[in-house]
Amino acid sequence: MNKIMEELNVKNPEYFINRELSLLEFNRRVLELSKDEDIPFLERLLYLCISSSNLDEFFEVRAAGVKQQINLNIPATGADNMIPEEVMTNISSTAHELVDEQYRVLHEIILPGFEEIDVHFTRRESWNEQQAKWVKEYFENQLLPVISPLGLDPAHPFPKVMNKSLNFIVSLEGKDAFGRDSGLAVVQAPRSLPRIVSFPDDIATSEHEFIFLSSIIHTHVSMMFPGMKATGCYQFRVTRNSELFVDDEEVDDLLRALKGELPQRRFGDAVRLEVADNCPQNMIEYLLKQVNLNWDDLYQVNGPVNLERLKEVYSLLNKPALRFPFFSPGKPSALKNNNFFETIRQKDILLHHPYESFTPIVKLLQQSADDPKVLAIKQTLYRTGSDSAIVKALVDAARAGKEVTVVIELRARFDEAANIGLATVLQKAGAHVVYGVVGLKTHAKMLLIIRREGQSIRRYAHLGTGNYHAGTARLYTDYGLLTSDATMTEDVHKLFLQLTGLGKILKLKKLLQSPFTLHDTMLEYIQREIDHIAEGKPARIIAKMNSLVEPQIISKLYEASQVGIKIDLIIRGVCCLRPGIKGVSENITVRSIIGRFLEHTRIFYFQNAQSHNESNEIKSSIDSSILLLSSADWMNRNFFKRVEACFPIEDKKLKKRVLDELQVHLDDNSQAWILNSEGRYELISRSASDEKIYAQKTLLKAMSKLAMN
């Protein structure tokens, strides 16, 4: 049966959802939050901006990859078996729908909402005399000195405009000083200037009155071409392939190779063209030809070609009532003792960010840097932030003479330059910096502290589902485990040996790792549930993650569903599994929770012959159940192309706590989206009499100090 199921599900597209289209559906759910009247207005603005930036990244990476497959004549590579041309057609159709909806939200919800709170974006035809004079002076003093208009002629061909830069195609009448009259020019807006400009208080007609930089350029574009007349000026923006190519087999210095590739990111192949919707067709045809795109790659928009620029307004407005209520992350009572080592020796500590503070992790490192008993610190860094207290503590520890080893993943997408800078800072301080394993990204989140205590050596470890980044710890939901368990910390030690040294695979006793044991063990645990139900024992699977893609795992889940196992999947983003198919996946439910925080925890629960109560809630008696937290999603890349760490929660109280918090997500009836068998998500329905349950609000109230304002 296993063989039949695997063949059926891997090769039949009917049972799989295309990964790229699933990712676009996630972005549709993000956009829906901008319409939710229960969300404060400025946060709704932010969701519109996020949906725009998400779509940018989708084109830079995912759509660009599909285009490369088409250009290289690569056949279908996904379990859905869709050929790249079919995928690209569906991407274009869905993305055009999303863009149209984004601009409808802008004009029908966001801009009217601004008017209601006395915030105005004044069009150039509405400027009064004082404002028009100020705009002209701003143009002459701020723009003209730094702008470089480019007239197009045989000596000045169409420029390779930078990725996502704001540009204008300008039609001109007349001849210049050299007698040239090509009739066309390109103007790139200076990157050094804000895209949204505030009118000074003395000429503003309201407390907050803004104009777009594009309006200033439109108004005075002719001043860039003395003696000529601009007859048309239209915004456009080109999105380019932003993947970096580094041949692992040929490169002998990864850092140097990445440094060489980074500048090229801005000038990869074009994948999308955005233009103002009033741009004439002949100009659009000209632009498409210059960037080597077709009409399906064109997006005509009624407004700014980059909605993310509206994000600036969020920062400019001091209106707390229009934002989410401020909260102070909680802190477990056990950590109120300032001696973290003593506390962790007594019992494992579990932190759930952002509901609970990330500060203990920073303080643990700071204590380690100052503690003369600490001999060595080892840590993986994937994304950390530019001004990181984590990095500062590691630098202090290295300067204090401790053995500091840091595994930095240079190829963390869009953070490559920052990570190169971090590597340089740490090396200068005397830390040992390595870049993981050639051909694999190091995605595990691990910290190991080695401390001399009396005549013995004790290890302390932190294992997490998310990055060591204080900023994202306020925005992403993640778990972090602090432990001094001898077996667990020995496993972490072995993982670091594999990352920094050479040798055979080291056998781990408690941790699972990619690319060696995680995938096979997940299949084994699902099979164990299947065996249990065949023996008449209860069985259940709950898994929470960012993405579910890997076909063998999906096939095994289908098999588990067919024998009657109830499977609850909480998947924030991409899900290639198709639930609710009769006879295949009717016992599987897939929900996606989209809210204030980005759901980022990876949790895998296998009942392992434990029983549940009649309401199907997770029962407290959990002695033999298996509960795992992980840095890895159930994706091909996480299982086979990355170094990942998956760790068990063994303490009964901590296990019950995680399961209780999982149940809160399963009870959410307000921000949960349910995936149907057609691959579309529908917001969960509830009756008018049902109490609203928001998982994130419930956990925020339970663990943090919430300041209602």
35 lies in a domain?
A: yes
662 lies in a domain?
A: yes
DSSP of 435-481, one letter per residue?
Answer: ---TTSEE--EEEEEEEEETTEEEEEEEEESS-S-TTGGGTEEEEEE
CATH number reported for the structural domain that contains residue 295 in this entry: 3.30.1840.10
CATH number reported for the structural domain that contains residue 46 in this entry: 1.20.58.310
* β-pairing verdict for 642-648 and 672-675: unpaired
Tell me which DSSP letter residue 607 carries: -
196 and 344 fall within a common domain? no
Instruction: Tell me how crowded residue 37 is: count the other CB atoms within 10 A of its CB.
Output: 8
Nearest to 297 by CA among 274, 276, 279, 266: 274
Give the range of the structural domain holding residue 632, as residue numbers without chain letter: 514-706
Nearest to 529 by CA among 516, 515, 518, 543: 543
Tell me which DSSP letter residue 482 carries: E
> Which of residues 342 and 338 earns the better pLDDT score?
342
pLDDT at position 427, please? 87
Among all chains, which residue has been given the structure tokens 């830079």? Answer: 60
Among all chains, which residue has been given the structure tokens 């993305």? Answer: 95
Average pLDDT over residues 56-76: 90
Beta strands in 552-633 (DSSP E): 566-571, 588-593, 598-599, 603-606, 626-630
pLDDT at position 247, please? 41
Could you tell me the two tokens for 188? Answer: 């790139």
pLDDT at position 462, please? 98
Measured distance CA(117)–CA(113) in Å, rounded: 7
Q: Does the pLDDT of residue 461 top 50, yes or no?
A: yes
331 and 398 fall within a common domain? yes
Q: Give the contacts of 630 (CB within 8 A, at least 6 positions apart).
A: 465, 512, 518, 602, 603, 604, 644, 645, 646, 647
Nearest to 220 by CA among 106, 111, 109, 127: 127
Measured distance CA(436)–CA(434) in Å, rounded: 6
Average pLDDT over residues 25-32: 97
pLDDT-based confidence at residue 260 (cuts at 50, 70, 90): very low
Give counts: helices (H), strands (E), the chain: 21, 29
645 lies in a domain?
A: yes
What H or E segment, with its residue span, contains residue 217? helix 213-220
Q: Does the pLDDT of residue 249 top 70, yes or no?
A: no
254 and 370 fall within a common domain? no
pLDDT-based confidence at residue 254 (cuts at 50, 70, 90): very low
pLDDT at position 155, please? 61
pLDDT at position 265, please? 46
- What confidence tens digit (pLDDT) does each residue in 363-375 have? 999 999 999 999 9
Measured distance CA(644)–CA(502) in Å, rounded: 18
Q: Give the contacts of 286 (CB within 8 A, at least 6 positions apart).
A: 169, 184
pLDDT at position 9, please? 44
CATH number reported for the structural domain that contains residue 388 in this entry: 3.30.870.10
Quote the Cα angle for 88-92-96, to 5°.
Answer: 165
Q: Does the pLDDT of residue 621 top 80, yes or no?
A: no
- Amino acid letter, 560: A
pLDDT at position 253, please? 46
Q: Does the pLDDT of residue 459 top 80, yes or no?
A: yes
Measured distance CA(57)–CA(69) in Å, rounded: 18
pLDDT at position 178, please? 54
455 lies in a domain?
A: yes
pLDDT at position 14, please? 87
For 37-51, 215-229, 547-561, 603-617, which range has the lowest pLDDT when averaged over its residues?
Answer: 603-617
676 and 698 fall within a common domain? yes
pLDDT-based confidence at residue 382 (cuts at 50, 70, 90): confident
Could you tell me the two tokens for 474? Answer: 């306020």
235 and 357 fall within a common domain? no
549 and 645 fall within a common domain? yes
Q: Please list the residues that pair with 186 across neighbouring strands.
A: 150, 169
Asked if 317 and 207 count as a contact pair (C-beta separation under 8 A), the reply is no
pLDDT-based confidence at residue 610 (cuts at 50, 70, 90): low
Q: Does the pLDDT of residue 314 top 60, yes or no?
A: yes
pLDDT-based confidence at residue 385 (cuts at 50, 70, 90): low
Tell me which DSSP letter residue 586 carries: T
412 and 315 fall within a common domain? no
Measured distance CA(505)–CA(409) in Å, rounded: 20
In the chain, the percentage of residues whose pLDDT exceeds 70 is 89
The number of domains in the chain is: 4
Task: Using the 3D structure, point to which of 510, 542, 572 is the last residue of a domain.
Answer: 510
Average pLDDT over residues 553-557: 95
308 and 276 fall within a common domain? yes
Quote the Cα angle for 698-703-706, to 5°.
Answer: 80
pLDDT at position 4, please? 43
Q: In 83-212, where does DSSP find H-type helix?
A: 84-105, 111-116, 129-138
Nearest to 683 by CA among 605, 592, 583: 592
Measured distance CA(489)–CA(341) in Å, rounded: 14
- What confidence tens digit (pLDDT) does each residue in 109-153 have? 999 999 999 999 999 999 999 999 999 999 999 999 999 898 887
DSSP of 644-661, one letter per residue?
Answer: EEEEE--SHHHHHHHHHH
Length of the chain, in residues: 709
Q: At 263, phi and psi to the nearest 5?
A: -60, -25
Average pLDDT over residues 24-37: 96
Known catalytic residue at 443: yes
112 lies in a domain?
A: no
pLDDT at position 10, please? 39
Measured distance CA(530)–CA(180) in Å, rounded: 77
DSSP of 657-681, one letter per residue?
Answer: HHHHHHHHHHH--SSEEEE-TTS-E
Measured distance CA(122)–CA(537) in Å, rounded: 68
391 lies in a domain?
A: yes
Distances (CA, A) of 246 to 50, 66, 258, 320, 438: 29, 19, 7, 45, 11
Average pLDDT over residues 306-310: 93
Task: Using the 3D structure, point to which of 486, 510, 534 is the last residue of a domain.
Answer: 510
Q: Does the pLDDT of residue 420 top 50, yes or no?
A: yes
In sign, the C-alpha dihedral spanning 591, 596, 598, 604 is negative
> Which of residues 328 and 256 earns the better pLDDT score?
328
Average pLDDT over residues 444-468: 96
Average pLDDT over residues 10-35: 90
237 and 252 fall within a common domain? yes
111 lies in a domain?
A: no
pLDDT at position 165, please? 93
Asked if 56 and 274 count as a contact pair (C-beta separation under 8 A), the reply is no
208-212: strand order across its sheet: 119-121, 208-212, 196-198
637 and 699 fall within a common domain? yes
For 111-125, 179-193, 253-267, which range has the lowest pLDDT when averaged over its residues?
Answer: 253-267
pLDDT-based confidence at residue 283 (cuts at 50, 70, 90): very high
Distances (CA, A) of 192 to 275, 312, 344, 388: 22, 14, 48, 25
Annotated catalytic residue within 218, 443, 519, 665:
443
570 and 684 fall within a common domain? yes
Average pLDDT over residues 381-410: 88
107 lies in a domain?
A: no
657 and 677 fall within a common domain? yes
Measured distance CA(696)–CA(705) in Å, rounded: 14
pLDDT at position 307, please? 95
Q: How far apart are the first and last CA of the chain?
A: 58
Cα Rg, the chain, nearest whole Å: 28
Task: Using the 3D structure, point to which of 69, 102, 135 is the last residue of a domain.
Answer: 102
**pTM reported for the whole predicted model:** 0.91
What mean pLDDT, rounded, does the chain reach? 89
The 8 Å CB, 24+ separation contacts for 179-185 are 180/151, 180/153, 182/151, 182/152, 182/153, 184/151, 184/152, 184/286, 185/149, 185/150, 185/151, 185/152, 185/224, 185/225
